[in-house]
Amino acid sequence: MRSGNPLLFVGFLGIGSCLLLAFLWAPSVSIEAFESPAAQRLFYWHVPAAWAAFIAFGALFLGSAGWLFKRSETMWRLHVAGSEAGLATGLMTVWSGCVWGAAEWGTPWDWSDVRLNSFGLLTLLATYVVLGRNSQPDGVETRDTFAAFGLYGFVLVPITYIATRIWTIRHPGPVVATGDGGSINGDMGLLLALSALSFTVFIIGHIQASMHVTSLEQRLEKLQRIADKGA
């Protein structure tokens, strides 16, 4: 696999380094402010994983629109890669959020919290698109159906983004881009930014690699048809 390899490697190195820094270097949080200050260190992968999920869902939206309006094979490959990346990063975000919730709130999930539920729905949408597409024969109708889900499902992304700005119930509010300088100190902010950058490189590498795999599948299918005709 040539495509995406260097970015994947650099992304891996970056997120591995951030994991080490989260354990060894990141400052501890106040024991008064948190029920479980140790578990708070999950934040250095949880937030960047959610950020990577938004990039993946953006790719899914672009790919879906590109397929529906341009009938572009490249855009279809972006749709496939975006949905797979959205599923993987979405599950990572939900998993780390549930573990942190169990440590901090005493419950892994709060059904009354808008952000938890809208992000959960996004991950379910990616699950449906990936599993549904894999269970159907490839064709224009199948692609149109799943591209429509990718296109309209994207509406959940801005809802999820603004959820904690409008309806803060259980999930913590934003810590960066808040307009008042944010609520985290310099070292924590630096590590969070480094981790977000690493996850960004990693997700772009994965999207490239997945697009390459889909192009190989398409090429194989066409060669197989040629071989079948000749037989």
Partner 1 sequence: MEGMTYLAIGYFGMLVGIALWTYTVVARSQRLEARLQALETALPSGDEVATDEKTDE
Q: How far apart are CA 68 and CA 146, in angstroms?
A: 10
Contacting residues for 116 by C-beta, under 8 A, at least 6 apart: 97, 109, 110, 170, 171
The whole-angstrom separation of Cα 200 and Cα 206 is 10
Distances (CA, A) of 115 to 32, 86, 174: 25, 16, 12
215 binds partner 1 (CB under 8 A): yes
- Of 3 and 159, the one with the shorter C-beta distance to partner 1 is 3
**What is the Cα–Cα distance from 192 to 51, expressed in whole angstroms?**
11
Taking CB under 8 A as the criterion, the residue among 49, 122, 157, 201 binding partner 1 is: 49
220 makes contact with partner 1 (CB under 8 A) = yes
Closest CA to 80 of 129, 135, 144: 129
State which of residues 10, 39, 190, 194 lies at the interface with partner 1 (CB under 8 A): 39
Which listed range, 122-130, 163-171, 172-180, 204-212, lies at the site for partner 1 (CB under 8 A)? Answer: 204-212
Residue 155, interface with partner 1 (CB under 8 A)?
no
Choice from 95, 109, 128, 161 touching partner 1 (CB under 8 A): 95
183 makes contact with partner 1 (CB under 8 A): no
CB neighbour class for 194 (10 Å; exposed up to 12, middle 13-18, buried from 19): middle
Closest contact distance (angstroms) between CB of 42 and partner 1 is 4
Q: What residues make contact with partner 1 under the rule CB under 8 A?
A: 1, 8, 12, 15, 19, 36-39, 41-42, 45-46, 49, 70-74, 84, 88, 91-92, 95-96, 99-100, 102-103, 140, 206, 209-210, 212-213, 215-220, 222-224, 226-227, 230
